[in-house]
């Protein structure tokens, strides 16, 4: 995966545009457990009549519920934090992955910014005991990509607001290959529907 | 034995499953662990789904997803008490999602049957129907006698839900569940991926 430009800052997103894109590509349900990053996107989704937002109580439940939606004939996706991805491991393995279900997973990247301020790209760092206990680093950032690889989950990064085709590509790949595909949201949403004065 | 249960009341698997199979029409039935083989022996239906060789403890949430995808079709989930404990939060999620077509059975035998009947934590104390009521289920049944089950089964299958049914069950002796051609039940004879497609095709069929 290419590294972001040196000295770059988190890019801002229009959550409403992304929510509209999800509806455009055919998502029926968004199953999620909120985190700090996803709140603006979840708000934008909740305002759309063509997307049903479902909140779970834990990420493993979110994955299994989404798998059930697919079994029932729907086209779900999930939005979870990378910490929640780890929690959902066996659910993901035993439902969506084992069923061969096309599941798009937005995974927010907790800890990535913290790692970069210290000059580290999270996916390139060996996970040592010292790294795991450091309070100035968020260990989940250093486990996210390697965990996805270990679980056989292809992943892409969403970093460029002009690159929404990556969302389409991830959705398409999940359906063509009949498997979960993760899109790591390596950015933050700072604009929700209200910022556009749309009410 | 939970305080709410009758001291001498338990259903066998046959006493639970045979009336259910007779009453079943076009409902989805999702089974879990020790009930997958017994149900598969008396039911051969493309809308049966075994949460086996899958993710342990995730039967109720899987069934919830199916129910939300097919709101006009009743979905019956035969979950175990051990499995239910693994995702207790799903009791709340079911109510919050307003899954009115979902019937969630928790079959309380107090044991992890397929691993050798080790006791489920809290087996003598946990009040599953009480948990369901506290989570907001509008209809909760607490059953320990076959005659009681048969009497309320029509209401269970036709009342607006979500419906919770706690059933005191005798312990069985099923071993680990596999998916292979050696299995008697058709829905266990193929891989999870293959049966998922059989099921999905059936549920999307206009004639199912």
Q: Which of A55, A91, A101 sits opposite B55 (nearest CB)?
A: A91
**Residue A189 clears pLDDT 90, i.e. is over it:** no
Across the interface, do B65 and A69 touch by the CB < 8 Å criterion?
A: yes
Contact between residue A189 and residue A15 where contact means Cβ atoms under 8 Å apart: yes
pLDDT per position in chain B (208 positions), as tens? 444 444 468 999 999 999 999 999 999 999 999 999 999 999 999 999 999 989 999 999 999 999 999 999 999 999 999 999 999 999 999 999 999 999 999 999 999 999 999 999 998 899 999 999 999 999 999 998 888 999 999 999 999 999 999 999 999 999 999 899 999 999 999 999 999 999 999 999 987 7
- The whole-number pLDDT of residue A37 equals 86
- The whole-number pLDDT of residue A181 equals 98
Q: Which of A69, A70, A99 sits opposite B192 (nearest CB)?
A: A99
- The whole-number pLDDT of residue A190 equals 62
ipTM of the complex: 0.95
- The whole-number pLDDT of residue B41 equals 96
CATH H-level superfamily of A15-189: Thiamin diphosphate (ThDP)-binding fold, Pyr/PP domains (3.40.50.970)
The size of the A-B interface in CB pairs under 8 A is 107
CA separation for the pair A16, A9 (Å, rounded): 21
Which distant-in-sequence residues (6+ apart) come within 8 Å of A165 by Cβ?
A: none
Alpha-carbon distance A178 to nearest alpha carbon in chain B (angstroms): 10
Q: Element (H or E) spanning B61, and its range?
A: helix B59-69
Q: For A92, how many CA atoms within 13 A lie in the half-sphere containing its CB?
A: 24
- Distances in Å between the Cα of B44 and the Cα atoms of B49, B102, B160, B162 are 10, 21, 26, 25
Contact between residue B74 and residue A45 where contact means Cβ atoms under 8 Å apart: no
- The whole-number pLDDT of residue A3 equals 42
Task: Provide the sign of the torsion angle of the four alpha carbons A118, A122, A125, A129, taken in this order.
Answer: positive
CA separation for the pair B32, A156 (Å, rounded): 35
Torsion angles phi and psi, residue A88, rounded to 5: -85, 5
What three-state secondary structure class fits B124? coil
CA separation for the pair A56, B178 (Å, rounded): 29
Length of chain B: 208
Ramachandran class of A99: left when φ > 0, alpha when ψ lies in -120 to 50, beta otherwise: alpha
- The whole-number pLDDT of residue A10 equals 39
* Both tokens assigned to A25: 């590509």
Residue A134: other Cβ atoms inside 10 A = 12
Report the share of chain A in percent with pLDDT over 70: 86
The pTM assigned to this predicted structure is 0.93
Lowest mean per-residue pLDDT among A80-84, A187-191, B120-124, B167-171: A187-191
Length of chain A: 199
Domains in chain B (CATH in brackets) are 13-204 (3.40.50.970)
Lowest mean per-residue pLDDT among A106-110, A191-195, B89-93: A191-195
If one compares A142 and A191, the residue with the highest pLDDT of the two is: A142
- Mean pLDDT throughout A45-49? 94
Q: Is A161 on the interface with B (CB under 8 A)?
A: no
Residues of B with CB under 8 A from a CB of A: 49, 53-56, 58, 61-70, 87, 89-90, 92-93, 96-97, 192-193, 196-197, 199-200, 203-204
Q: How far is CA B1 from the centre of its chain?
A: 20
Spatial CA neighbour of B5 closest among B112, B81, B94, B113: B81
Q: Element (H or E) spanning A43, and its range?
A: helix A39-46
- The whole-number pLDDT of residue A193 equals 60
- The whole-number pLDDT of residue B6 equals 45
Across the interface, do B65 and A98 touch by the CB < 8 Å criterion?
A: no
Lowest mean per-residue pLDDT among A47-51, A75-79, B173-177: B173-177
- Distances in Å between the Cα of A177 and the Cα atoms of A94, A101, A195 are 17, 9, 37
If one compares A189 and A158, the residue with the highest pLDDT of the two is: A158
Across the interface, do B65 and A56 touch by the CB < 8 Å criterion?
A: no
Would you kindly state where each structural domain of chain A is located, as residue ranges?
15-189
Contact between residue A182 and residue A148 where contact means Cβ atoms under 8 Å apart: yes
- The whole-number pLDDT of residue B146 equals 85
Q: Mean pLDDT: which of A14-23, A160-169, B77-86, B139-148 is highest?
A: B77-86
Across the interface, do B56 and A90 touch by the CB < 8 Å criterion?
A: yes
pLDDT digits (tens, 9 = 90+) for B37-50: 999 999 999 999 99
Q: Which residues of B81-105 are buried (b: 16+ CB within 10 A; e: fewer)?
A: bbbbbbbbbbbbbbbebebebbbbb
How would residue A89 be classed by pLDDT, with cut points 50, 70 and 90?
Answer: very high
What three-state secondary structure class fits A191? strand
Q: Element (H or E) spanning B118, and its range?
A: strand B118-119
**Residue A199 clears pLDDT 80, i.e. is over it:** no
Q: Which residues of A83-110 are buried (b: 16+ CB within 10 A; e: fewer)?
A: bbbebbbbbbbbbbbbbbbbbbbbbbbb
**Residue A2 clears pLDDT 60, i.e. is over it:** no
**Residue A162 clears pLDDT 90, i.e. is over it:** no
Long-range CB pairs of B147-154 (<8 Å, 24+ gap) are B149/B11, B149/B15, B149/B16, B149/B19, B150/B19, B153/B19, B153/B20, B153/B23, B154/B23
What three-state secondary structure class fits B191? coil
Alpha-carbon distance B205 to nearest alpha carbon in chain A (angstroms): 10
**Residue A4 clears pLDDT 50, i.e. is over it:** no
Q: Is A61 on the interface with B (CB under 8 A)?
A: yes
pLDDT digits (tens, 9 = 90+) for B101-131: 999 999 999 999 999 999 999 988 999 999 9
């Amino acid at each position: 995966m290419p590294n972001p430009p040196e000295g770059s800052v988190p890019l801002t997103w229009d959550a409403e545009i992304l929510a509209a894109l999800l509806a455009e590509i055919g998502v029926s349900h968004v199953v999620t457990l909120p985190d700090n990053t996803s709140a603006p996107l979840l708000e934008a989704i909740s305002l759309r009549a063509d997307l049903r937002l479902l909140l779970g109580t834990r990420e493993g439940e979110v994955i299994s519920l989404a798998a059930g939606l697919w079994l029932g004939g729907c086209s779900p996706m999930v939005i979870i934090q990378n910490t929640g991805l780890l929690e959902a491991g066996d659910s993901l393995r035993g439902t969506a992955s084992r069923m061969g279900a096309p599941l798009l997973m937005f995974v927010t990247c907790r800890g990535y910014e913290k790692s970069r301020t210290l000059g580290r790209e999270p996916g390139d760092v060996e996970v040592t005991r010292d790294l795991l206990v450091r309070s100035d680093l968020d260990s989940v950032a250093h486990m996210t990509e390697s965990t996805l690889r270990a679980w056989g989950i292809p992943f892409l990064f969403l970093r460029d607001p002009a690159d929404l085709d990556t969302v389409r590509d991830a959705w398409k790949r999940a359906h063509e290959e009949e498997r979960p595909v993760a899109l790591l949201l390596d950015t933050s949403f700072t604009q929700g529907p209200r910022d556009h004065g749309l009410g | 034995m939970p305080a709410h249960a009758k001291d001498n009341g338990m259903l066998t698997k046959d006493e639970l499953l045979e009336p259910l199979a007779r009453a079943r029409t076009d409902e989805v039935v999702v089974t879990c662990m020790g009930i997958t083989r017994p149900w598969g022996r008396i039911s051969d239906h493309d809308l049966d789904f075994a949460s086996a060789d899958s993710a342990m403890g995730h039967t109720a949430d899987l069934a919830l997803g199916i129910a939300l995808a097919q709101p006009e079709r009743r979905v019956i989930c035969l979950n175990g008490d051990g499995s239910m404990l693994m995702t207790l939060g799903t009791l709340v999620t079911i109510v919050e999602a307003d899954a009115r077509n979902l019937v969630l059975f928790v079959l309380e035998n107090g044991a992890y049957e397929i691993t050798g009947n080790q006791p489920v934590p809290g087996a003598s104390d946990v009040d599953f129907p009480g948990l369901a009521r506290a989570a907001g289920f509008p209809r909760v049944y607490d059953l320990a006698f076959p005659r009681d089950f048969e009497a309320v089964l029509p209401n269970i299958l036709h009342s607006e839900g979500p419906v919770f049914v706690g059933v005191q069950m005798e312990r069985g002796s099923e071993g680990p569940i596999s998916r292979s051609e050696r299995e008697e039940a058709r829905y266990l004879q193929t891989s999870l991926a293959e049966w998922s497609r059989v099921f999905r095709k059936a549920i999307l069929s206009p004639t199912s």
